[in-house]
């Protein structure tokens, strides 16, 4: 085998190792007794996932469709992940009030807001409605799947 060919094979093997390594470490972490965290390259499952603690900690709730009330997770969420399918109705409006009332924020398909306690995420749509400008942390009550994130 020529030196050039040996070098090419070694470089390809190293590149493959780098590509596979993050998936292997995520799987190992999930198999332990730690709180469930979203896999790095998880396939869409059509659900909105929420966690009561940042970074996938605490209790979890998830939905396939709209929810007029977040039930046991209402006003208790610090991590939100939109793992919906790409295409129509793949963004999620998150509402301050029950039954999709009050101000809202919108999370796009595939996005995850892992730590709402940072104060970075707020209800920015529907100025003048209850909750406008409030932090999303421990303040979301309901949601609706929508075609895209927009004002109003």
Half-sphere exposure of 115 (CA within 13 A, CB side): 3
Q: pLDDT for 88-131, tens place per residue?
A: 899 999 999 999 999 999 999 999 999 999 999 999 999 999 99
Higher-confidence position of 56 and 30: 56
CA distance 51 to 63: 12
CA distance 91 to 151: 13
Average pLDDT, the chain: 80
CA distance 21 to 29: 12
Let me know: does 16 contact 48? Beta carbons within 8 Å: no
8-state DSSP, 36: P
pTM (predicted TM-score): 0.72
How confident is the model at residue 151, as a pLDDT? Answer: 57
Other C-beta atoms within 10 Å of 147: how many? 10
Residues above pLDDT 70, as percent of the chain: 71
Mean per-residue pLDDT for 39-65?
A: 89
Residue found under tokens 């895209």 = 148
How confident is the model at residue 66, as a pLDDT? Answer: 97
């Amino acid at each position: 085998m020529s030196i050039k060919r040996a070098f090419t094979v070694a470089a390809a093997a190293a590149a493959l190792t780098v590509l596979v390594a993050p998936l292997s470490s995520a799987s190992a972490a999930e198999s332990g007794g730690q709180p469930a965290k979203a896999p790095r390259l998880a396939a869409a499952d059509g659900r909105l996932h929420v966690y009561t603690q940042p970074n996938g900690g605490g209790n979890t709730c998830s939905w396939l469709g709209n929810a007029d009330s977040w039930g046991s997770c209402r006003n208790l969420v610090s991590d939100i992940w939109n793992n919906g399918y790409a295409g129509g109705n793949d963004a999620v409006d998150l509402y301050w009030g029950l039954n999709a009332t009050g101000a809202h924020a919108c999370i796009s398909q595939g996005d995850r807001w892992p730590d709402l306690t940072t104060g970075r995420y707020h209800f920015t749509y529907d100025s003048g409605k209850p909750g406008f400008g409030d932090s999303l942390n421990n303040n979301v009550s309901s949601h609706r799947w929508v075609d895209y994130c927009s004002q109003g």
